[in-house]
Amino acid sequence: MDEDVLTTLKLLIIGESGVGKSSLLLRFTDDVFDPELGATIGVDFKVKTLAVDGNRTKLAIWDTAGQERFRTLTPSYYRGAQGVILVYDVTRRETFTKLHNWLSELEIHCTRNELVKMLVGNKIDKDDREVDRNEGVTFARKHSMLFIGEGRPSPPMHVVWVNESQLHWDYFMMCLFIIREKILKVLSLALLIHSVNLFCDIFLETSSLCSCATQIIYFDKDLPSFFLSLSLSPLSLSLSLSLSLSLSLSEASAKTRDGVACAFEELVEKILQTPGLWESEGKTRGMHLSEQTRLPREQSCYCSLP
Ligand SMILES: Nc1nc2c(ncn2[C@@H]2O[C@H](COP(=O)(O)OP(=O)(O)OP(=O)(O)O)[C@@H](O)[C@H]2O)c(=O)[nH]1
């Protein structure tokens, strides 16, 4: 791996034939658009290095064929992917209605259940739109799935986020429940293995962790998401919690460039924010992200969920 590259990520682009998967990839990697681009045979592959929040990330992007006859070639390419771009053509409704099939394909073939998904409605430069933006938003919302990842924390801070539409106390309570479970586990281990002094230390650390977790939860109406920050103690309790919306929407045009780079960048940013989804030798997992380092909403291509 290059010295200054944080990690290498595997991304997939899937969707019906002709929606513009290869064109989006070509636009993103080479800033080129070919109106006569031929259909992909099997799978195509490109590498690009991208800097996100100052972290250089190498992307291995697999462009799969949308045509039915090449589908049998593709399942093995799903293996190990951390992110997927699910493309439909806003001027062809059937490419939108068939998104369900692509989600099923993902479920069948993907080896990771924490996969980060980005929905892209392509060809917004064309006048004959058949799928409006709200339908895309609704689909993304409906298929947003929460996940809970568990792994080693990257001290001192994890930031996890939940989409506004999923802001329910249930999730909050679930977070607290998991934190409590983890604390009890640590305490019982401490009781069994270590001295009373260490037990006291751990008890103090865990109680400060709890109060910290509840104190810094906030919800900003101006942001599409809210952040739940957990300050992890220097003792590095084995606690890692992440809740994330795993399907977002972006509309784009490979022809005019609109929204293309943004879709890839947001996807990579979300993968890097997800602890346990990527690894780097000699570096901590997950990425520190404060509110200040997040893109302001105007620069973000996320759909604004009303
Ligand atoms: N107007 C317009 N045309 C586009 C856009 N993106 C792709 N196209 C055209 O749509 C056609 C299909 O694009 P591809 O990129 O080959 O589509 P694909 O999804 O890779 O197709 P398969 O390889 O068969 O799966 C090509 O003629 C492209 O030039 C876009 O944003 N706007």
Ligand 1 within 6 A of CB of 262: no
Tell me, what's the ipTM? 0.99
Report how far residue 56's alpha carbon sits from residue 259's, in angstroms, rounded to the nearest whole number: 21
Task: With H, G, I as helix, E, B as strand and everything else as coil, classify residue 44.
Answer: strand
Tally of residues, the chain = 306
What is residue 169's predicted lDDT score, i.e. its pLDDT? Answer: 53
Does ligand 1 come within 6 angstroms of the Cβ of 155?
Answer: no
- pLDDT of 183 reads 67
Q: Which residues of the chain have pLDDT under 50?
A: 145-167, 194-201, 203-205, 207-245, 281-306
Long-range contact pairs involving 142-145 (C-beta distance under 8 Å, separation at least 24): 143/103, 143/117, 143/247, 144/245, 144/246, 144/247, 145/246, 145/247
Q: Is 66 in the pocket of ligand 1 (CB under 6 A)?
A: yes
Q: Which residue has the tokens 């998401």?
A: 225
Rounded CA gap, 276 and 148, in Å?
A: 11
Instruction: Confirm or reject: Cβ of 35 under 6 Å from ligand 1.
Output: yes
Does the CB atom of residue 43 touch ligand 1 within 6 A?
no
If DSSP codes are grouped into helix, strand and coil, which group holds residue 209?
A: helix
Can you tell me which atom of ligand 1 is nearest the CA of 19?
19
Question: What pLDDT is recorded for position 135?
Answer: 87
Q: What does the block give as tokens for 219?
A: 């919800």
For residue 20, how far is its CA from the centre of ligand 1 (angstroms)?
3
Helix (H) / strand (E) containing 84: strand 83-89
Please give the Cα distance from 225 to 160 (Å, whole number).
10
**Helix (H), strand (E) at residue 160:** strand 157-163
- The predicted pLDDT at position 188 comes to 61
Question: How much distance in Å is there from the Cα of 267 to the middle of ligand 1?
Answer: 21
What's the pLDDT at 97?
Answer: 95
Query: Does ligand 1 lie within 6 Å of residue 82's CB atom?
Result: no
Closest Cα to atom 6, ligand 1: which residue? 20
Give tens-digit pLDDT for 42-80.
678 899 999 887 888 999 999 888 777 776 666 777 888
Mutate to test the pocket of ligand 1, among 14, 21, 23 (most ligand atoms within 8 A of CB): 23
pLDDT on residue 3? 63
Q: Which two tokens stand for residue 271?
A: 């993968």
